[in-house]
Structure formats: structure tokens, C-alpha cells
Amino acid sequence: MPGSIERQHTNREFERELKQLRERLLAMGGRAEQQISAAVACLVDRDDERASKVIDDDERIDLDEREIDELAFAVIARRQPVASDLRFVVFALKIVTDLERIGDLAVNIAKRARDLARLDPSPAEMRLVELAVRVRAALKDALDAFAHSDVERAERVIHNDREIDLQNTHLIADLISTPTEGARDFARALAISSISRYLERIGDHATNVAEMVIYSLRGRDVRHPRQP
Amino acid sequence: MTALAVERLSAWAGARRLLSDVSLTLEKNRVLAVIGPSGSGKSTFIRCLNRMHELDAGARVAGSVRVHGVEAYAEGIDPIAIRRRVGLVFQQPAVFAHLSIRDNVLVGVRLGHAAPVDADVVVERSLRRAALFDELRDRLDEPATSLSAGERQRLCIARALAVEPEILLLDEPTANLDPVATARIEGLIEELRRSCALVVVTHGMQQAIRISDDTAFLNRGVLVEHGPTTTLFSQPVQLETEEFVTGRFG
């Protein structure tokens, strides 16, 4: 689509509904970002109480999912949107699932962080924090790409996901090759590898969001590109 | 097979240009929806396709319209013969009040055929194709004014079908109908596309999506965009199309 749409809908109520949907999505995305940070902070600070808060706060994200779904369905039923409006509503219905899954994965991280809190810190945990910083940045960039209609930023998120995958693969490979001495070492390695996997999956969901941003803005489906 | 080929079609009403260099083609058994804001040239466009536009005082047409390969505006072509091949149904169901349902169906056939036709066969076939026969088989001699608005519109379609056109033009055929009557007409369009090509002018975006294979968007007499309906309504190429179909103007 050449150019950008500057005109508003003639129907102001429709315009208001789309604006509300957009604001709700951005708020939910912000909450998902915060949950990732909070879950990783539990790990760094060995903060059991904070882990419980992450688990409790997931309810808000679940509620976001239900309410955004309702809003999107109402827009479809009332307005029967087409073109960029239709793509935006489809975008909302798709990314809401990714954001909800990100919330669930943050809860999983918080639970594993609680397990790790009972064990001595290990150097591998710093690598988890580095991975978490990268993953959160990916989600932030994907949401910023949505907020600012920025296709290039969305494309960078998709491109950079390879780095996240590699970092996770290397971390797990190193854990496997490190000899464990007893049950505590094994439990630590298991928790760290789980958190690494959860973070990698959050990266995948951020990539999904970025792909849908491109679809919503350009009408171009960039999912599942064929390998050369 | 190309049913309709329009090339650089322009139309004027006096000095005012209503259409500018419109070019498109329509294949047989396909439905083309024509959308656009009021005054965009939609009705002028379809009235040019069967040479109705030239009936208006001061009207002028330039360009080419080929119906199954035959140039409609070629010298020596009888405009009435073109209007029989390209039927037009108007927004207001125009029935002849003093005629029965049967005679309304037969008006076009009687005007155009020197040779006698089997009237009963034509009436039944046309009303069946317009999905009216079962409703009206026992009322054929009643005046057409006894029909509801939806039935009158289908009667007009039956009358157009009676002369077996190759292309059927419908100008906002459901503009004055309730949702049930609208659904009947839309179902009928789906049936009719099996035997001919249809061009439907509509103000309803959702109707265009439901009934058509291709859509043409006209604005200020210019063909802004033309393509498969699903593409035009999900990923329009032109910003002007995007703004119109999403309700930002028009």
C-alpha cells in the first residue's frame, strides 16, 4: 500500500472502537514485557515473594486476552471491517494469543526461579539474564513496531530471532557438557535449561507479533518463508 | 471466454465528462461489482455497456465496448440488439402496472421477436431462473402491482432474462429491499452467473464481497482500481481505494 492513511473514518464511533482496541493491545503488551522483567528479577534477586506476584499478576493478562477478544469480535459483528481495518482486527486476535502465552511463560520462569532460589547461584544464570534482556528487547521492538507502524523495526525483530535461538542452543549445550555432581547440580541444570527454553519461546512469540505487524501494515504474509 | 471488454471508455453529459478512459474485461460466468461514492460514474458506466447512456439528451460516448467480441458501438450495429444481449435491471423495480405478471415477463420478448414464441415456456423458464415461479405459478394473471417490492425486482430480472441476455447489468438491485428480499436477490445472482456474466452496481461493501468475483472502484469517473474482490477488500493497492472501502470518505 503506497502512502499512509491519514483520513479518519467517517463513522467516529468505529474510529473510537479501533483506537480502543489498539490501546488495549499496547497496554497488554506492556504488561507482558513487565512480567518478563519481573520473572527474571526473581532469579537475580532470589526473591520468592516477587515470584508469587508474577504468578498472581498473570490473571490480569488472561483478563486482557478475554476482553480484547470481545472487543475484536464486537468490531467484526458491528462494522464488518475490510482492508487495513480487517487486517488490524485479525492482527489483534492473533497477537493477543501470543501475548497471553508470553504471560504464561513468564509465570513458568518465575516458578523455576523459585526453585533456583533454594540453590546456590551459578555462572550460567548470568547468561540467562543476558538472554532475557535480548528477548525482552525483541518484544519491546515488536510492540514499538506496532505502535509506530514501523515495518523495518518488525523486520529486524524477525531477523534477530536467530541470535536468540543460537544463544539458547549454546546455553543448553554447555549445560549438557558440564558434569553434574549430585541431585542439586542436576536440579539447577534442569531449571536453567527450562528457563532458557521459555525465553527462547518468548522470542518466537515476539517474532510472531513482528510478522503480524508486517501483515497488518503491508498485507504481506512473511510467516514460514520457504528455505532456498 | 471474455464476455465483456471495455477499452478507454469515456462518457459525457453535454460538456461534463462523467467517465474517463475506463478499461476492464469481464469473463463469462463471473460477477463484477462496481463500487464508488455517489456521482462517481457507476450508473453511467453500466448504461454505456448496453448503449442506454446515449438516450439522454446531450450524451456522448467514446471508446470501445465489445460484447463477446462484437463492438457495441460499431457503425451499423443496432443499439436495440445490443440491449437485448446486455440486459439492464434498474434500482427501482419498474413493472408495468396495467399488465399481468405473465405479460410483464413477456414485454421484451414480444417487442423483439417477429416470430411467435411459446409464451408459456418463456414465462415459466424466466420466472424459474428468477426463483419466482413456485411462488407465482397460480397468480400469473394477477396484476404485477400485487407483488411485494422484492418480488417486483425479481420480476424485472425475469423480464430481462426472458430475452436470454449474455450479460446482465444490475443497478443497485437491492437498494430498496428488506434483508430477506436482499438475500433472495443475492442468491439469484449466484445462480445466474452459471449462465451469463453479471455487472452489479452496489453501495454495499459487504454485498460486493458476498456476490462478486471481481470489483471495480470508480471515483470521479476514473477507474481507480479493478481486481479480484478478495484482494481489493483485503489488500487494496491504491490509497484512495483503501480510504473508500474502510469508510473514510464517500
Residue in A closest to B250 by C-alpha: A10
Contact between B100 and B138 (Cβ < 8 Å): no
B113 pLDDT tier (thresholds 50, 70, 90): low
For cell 445490443, what's the residue? B82
Backbone angles phi, psi at A224, to 5 degrees: 50, 60
Q: Which chain A residues contact residue B250 at CB under 8 A? A: 10
Q: Which chain A residues contact residue B245 at CB under 8 A? A: 82-83
Q: Is the pLDDT of residue A120 over 90?
A: no
Q: Is the pLDDT of residue B114 over 60?
A: no
- Which of A11, A80, A83 comes nearest B242 by C-beta? A83
Query: What confidence score (pLDDT) does residue A227 get?
Result: 55
Cβ contact, residue pair A2, B239, below 8 Å: yes
A18 pLDDT tier (thresholds 50, 70, 90): very high
- How does pLDDT run across B222-250, given as a tens digit for each residue? 999 999 999 999 999 999 999 999 999 87
Cα B142 from Cα B150, distance rounded (Å): 17
Residues 6+ apart with CB under 8 A from A83: B233, B234, B235, B236, B241, B242, B245, B246
Contact between B1 and B183 (Cβ < 8 Å): no
Query: What confidence score (pLDDT) does residue A2 get?
Result: 43
CB of B239 within 8 Å of any CB in chain A? yes
Cβ contact, residue pair A80, B239, below 8 Å: no
Q: Calculate how close chain A gets to B42, using CA atoms only, in Å.
A: 21
Q: Minimal CA–CA distance to A95: which of A209, A222, A206?
A: A209
Residue in B closest to A80 by C-alpha: B206
- Residue A23: half-sphere exposure toward Cβ, Cα within 13 Å: 6
- How does pLDDT run across B176-189, given as a tens digit for each residue? 889 998 998 999 99
Cα B11 from Cα A191, distance rounded (Å): 75
Q: Which chain B residues contact residue A215 at CB under 8 A? A: none
- How does pLDDT run across B122-165, given as a tens digit for each residue? 999 999 999 899 999 999 999 999 999 999 999 999 999 999 99
Q: What average pLDDT does range B35-64 have in this prediction?
A: 96
**Could you tell me the pTM of the whole model?**
0.84
- Cβ-Cβ contacts under 8 Å between A and B: the total is 54
Q: Minimal CA–CA distance to A214: which of A152, A135, A144?
A: A152
Q: How far from the centroid of its chain's Cα atoms is residue B157's Cα?
A: 9
| Residue A104 Cα distances to A72, A97, A108, A109, B18, angstroms | 22, 11, 6, 9, 60
Q: Minimal CA–CA distance to A124: which of A185, A165, A198, A33?
A: A185
Residue positions counted in chain A: 228
Q: Could you report how far apart the first and last alpha carbons of chain A are, in Å?
A: 27
- How does pLDDT run across A123-160, given as a tens digit for each residue? 889 999 999 999 999 999 999 999 999 999 999 999 99
CB of B224 within 8 Å of any CB in chain A? no
